[in-house]
């Protein structure tokens, strides 16, 4: 038989451990960002600092609401079924962090695609999930018993459902736009494939975690959903930081590692467009140019044959005069018909 604390605080403890582990990764990601990308704009650095501050507060609150009933309230069995005000901060902090991250990705969608409807849809979903997260925190204060959390399931559905929809919309918009800019050149297509893989991975993780959290919340009143709910905020911040820190692998041409994300994206897209046009022109010209490259063996004898007269060169585009040798092979780089070889006097 499980102890009274196992049913409720077992999932909370596991979720808190995962939260702390992801917070350690966030510390590393933040350190790498401020070390490598020193040339980023000030507002970007302040934005990353704000996310790190929110993550730190969220981690501290999670540790606090695990410590208070299990250590300070040890032996208080009825208190194990009560959610404290510290526990109520988690939905609000998670919603705020998700709002910041999703708004950043919405801005990226606007910069890359220029699509106002897609950007507005993402921002609308993000705002709805933020309202749902704040509403969930308020509802926890009104119904602090864990067994009564099902009373405000509508608010939780709004929070997690809109969060998953926003993440899916961000992923779909970026992948659709990037796939349109494939050119057939291996260098540019490799860059596009890297960005697509990273976009799908980061967007899929947060969306899938929110969906699993919602399903478990609706299916089981035991609190099992908290295993996925508590680390959700760290998944958002780590997805954003991994996207920012991976810019060094997206360098194209002379784009430096410290270049702003939007500048890199625009440089990549411009490079893709230019190479696309060059490829089209080259393919059109390639149907008319024939290139034959063959080897020659040089001998000591000097070819004293006279060069062709100006009248003959009018039809000659490119024609190297080969040296005479035994087993000599002809070489020609021509467009159209080459002139006859001049005879020696």
Name, in order, each residue with C-beta under 8 angstroms of 293's C-beta and a sequence gap of 6 or more.
Answer: 331, 333
- Residue 3 and residue 109: Cα distance in Å, rounded? 49
pLDDT the model gives residue 162: 95
Cβ-contact 79, 69 below 8 angstroms: yes
| φ and ψ at residue 253, rounded to 5 degrees | 70, -120
Q: What is the mean pLDDT of residues 205-209?
A: 90
pLDDT at 21: 94
CB atoms within 10 A of CB 160: 31
Q: Are 198 and 239 in contact (CB under 8 A)?
A: no
Residue 222 CA to residue 8 CA, distance in Å, equals 6
CB atoms within 10 A of CB 302: 8
Handedness of CA 329, 335, 337, 343 (dihedral sign): negative
10-278: CATH topology:
Rhopdopsin 7-helix transmembrane proteins (1.20.1070)
pLDDT at position 160, please?
Answer: 93
Residue 272 has pLDDT above 80, yes or no: no
pLDDT tens digits for range 154-181:
999 999 999 999 999 998 888 887 777 6
- Sign of the torsion angle spanned by Cα atoms 221, 125, 250, 282: positive
Task: Provide CATH 1.20.1070 ranges for the chain.
Answer: 10-278
Phi–psi pair at 98, nearest 5 degrees: -65, -40
CA angle in degrees (0–180, nearest 5) for 213-217-219: 115
Task: Answer yes or no: are the C-beta atoms of 98 and 233 closer than 8 Å.
Answer: yes
* Model pLDDT for residues 287-345, shown as the tens digit of each residue: 444 444 444 444 444 444 555 554 444 444 444 445 444 444 444 444 444 455 555 54
How deeply is 213 buried, as exposed, middle or buried, from its count of CB atoms within 10 A (0-12, 13-18, 19+)?
buried
Give per-residue pLDDT as tens, 14-51.
999 999 999 999 999 999 999 999 989 999 999 999 99
Q: Using alpha carbons, select from 39, 7, 20, 11 the residue that is nearest to residue 248.
A: 39
Q: Quick one: what percent of the chain has pLDDT higher than 70?
A: 68
Instruction: Give the least confident one: 39-48, 92-101, 133-142, 274-283.
Output: 274-283
Is residue 77 within 8 A of residue 1, CB to CB? The reply is no
């Amino acid at each position: 038989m499980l102890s009274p604390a196992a049913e409720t605080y077992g999932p909370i403890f596991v979720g808190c451990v995962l939260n702390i582990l992801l917070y350690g990764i966030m510390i590393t990601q933040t350190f790498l960002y401020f070390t490598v990308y020193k040339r980023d704009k000030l507002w970007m650095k302040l934005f990353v600092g704000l996310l790190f501050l929110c993550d730190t507060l969220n981690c501290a609150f999670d540790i606090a609401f695990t410590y208070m009933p299990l250590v300070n309230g040890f032996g208080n069995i009825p208190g194990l079924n009560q959610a404290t005000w510290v526990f109520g901060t988690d939905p609000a902090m998670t919603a705020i962090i998700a709002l910041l991250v999703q708004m950043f990705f919405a801005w990226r969608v606007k910069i890359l695609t220029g699509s106002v409807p897609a950007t507005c849809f993402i921002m609308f979903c993000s705002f709805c999930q933020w309202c749902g997260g704040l509403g969930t925190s308020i509802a926890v204060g009104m119904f602090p018993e864990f067994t009564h959390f099902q009373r405000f399931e509508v608010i939780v559905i709004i929070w997690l459902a809109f969060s998953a929809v926003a993440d899916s919309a961000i992923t779909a918009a970026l992948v659709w736009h990037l796939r349109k800019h494939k050119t057939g050149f291996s260098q540019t297509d490799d860059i596009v494939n890297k960005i697509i893989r990273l976009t799908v991975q980061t967007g899929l993780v947060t969306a899938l975690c929110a969906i699993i959290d919602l399903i478990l919340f609706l299916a089981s009143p035991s609190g099992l959903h908290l295993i996925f709910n508590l680390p959700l905020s760290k998944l958002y911040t780590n997805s954003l930081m991994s996207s920012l820190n991976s810019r060094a692998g997206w360098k194209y041409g002379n784009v430096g590692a410290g270049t702003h994300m939007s500048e890199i994206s625009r440089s990549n897209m411009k490079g893709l467009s230019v190479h696309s046009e060059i490829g089209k022109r080259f393919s059109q010209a390639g149907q008319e140019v024939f290139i034959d490259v063959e080897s020659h063996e040089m001998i000591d004898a000097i070819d004293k044959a006279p060069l062709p007269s100006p009248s003959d060169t009018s039809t000659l585009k490119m024609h190297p005069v080969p040296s005479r040798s035994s087993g000599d092979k002809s070489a020609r780089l021509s467009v159209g018909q080459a002139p006859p070889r001049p005879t020696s006097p």
